[in-house]
Amino acid sequence: MKKAFTLLFFLHYFLLSAQTTQGFSYQSTVRNSNNQLVTNQHVKHRFTIRINSNNGTTVYRETQNPLTDNGGNISLTIGTGTADVGTFSQINWSQGTHYMGIEFFSGSTCQWIDVSMNTGGQLVSYCNGTYIWNACQTFDNLVWSDEFNGSGTINSSKWAHQTQLPDGVNWYNGEIQHYTNRQINSFENNGALSIVAKKETFTDQGQTKQYTSARLNSKFAFKYGRVEVRAKLPSGTGTWPAIWMLGKNIIEPGSFWSSTYGTVNWPYCGEVDIMEHWGSNQNYVQSAMHTPSSYGGTVNLGGQVISTASSQFHIYTLDWTAEKMVFSVDGIVHYTYNPTTKNASTWPFDAEQYVLLNVALQSSISQSFTECAMEVDYVRIYQ
């Protein structure tokens, strides 16, 4: 006669590792009524998603029959099992609040036993392409913005020009322009900011260059939130517009925050590239992270093709939480940075950052180039 046993779940799921793009990551350890690990046994589970409460209408239910390992552990992805109610990919997450019920089938009583962590069901959500064991974090409080509704010079209470050559000769990355504080290179008009890169001979700081542009530092720094920038990008080989952020603790000659808050060099301050566009790869916009663990030619990047990047305005967005960075264009996510291990090397993003806007020029610029502009309708920061 086969021995029956009662199963108890002491560890249901670990929220710190429970975020995937395929479904809800679930991990647990199975013990019997004598508190002994149940190893190398199939344990049937049932997962039910209901709307508005744990007693609400069932929108999805599935079963899985995972095998415990030598330590009594199971690991699976909810949403990939055998469904008997609904279709996981067709759940309307915007319809209301959703709750997950978790059950296992007891061999001793031949019934489903509820082992949900919370008696009222576990709140679950689908946020920015990721399934999470919680509510989506929403940033709906506008804490800082510039709508660029002025005329002429930029708002000096919100932006600082960064013009100082960091090494006294050139800018980084082989950029060939001077950044200036002249209105000809950055100005407000018709409800938008224009950052204009121009071909012209210009001498500053004892250095003569053949091109000028502008690089702006926000006078607002923050930790965690949403950044939205609605912009239209320049085109042409050699053009390199960027919407990005740096830690305000950076040591960098001429930057707005450095003299007061600078304590570390790049990349220890962390860099967040919300949007970069190279005219040599027209219409491909990229987001990237630069940290001590990977910088310069960083491996932490992603992007998408925006066919009208230089002919229409698009909204470039960063959602920054204590857990991850999510990058999107017009609501379409193309990259998420969420390192498993977060430390000073991988995650210097537990401190304030500030926004930068600039148009750089590379040595590959066409000889026929005269000028180009990045137009910015607004910059908005929510928390």
Active site residues: 271, 276
Nearest C-alpha neighbor of 27 from the set 96, 74, 90 = 74
Contact indicator for 19, 338 with CB cutoff of 8 Å: yes
The answer to whether the Cα torsion of 277, 281, 286, 292 is positive or negative is: negative
DSSP label at 362?
-
- Rounded Cα distance, 135 and 127, in Å: 8
Alpha carbon distances (Å) from 248 to 41, 173, 284, 370 = 53, 21, 28, 34
Residue 258, H or E segment: helix 258-261
Cα torsion angle, 212, 214, 215, 219, sign: positive
DSSP structural state of residue 344: T
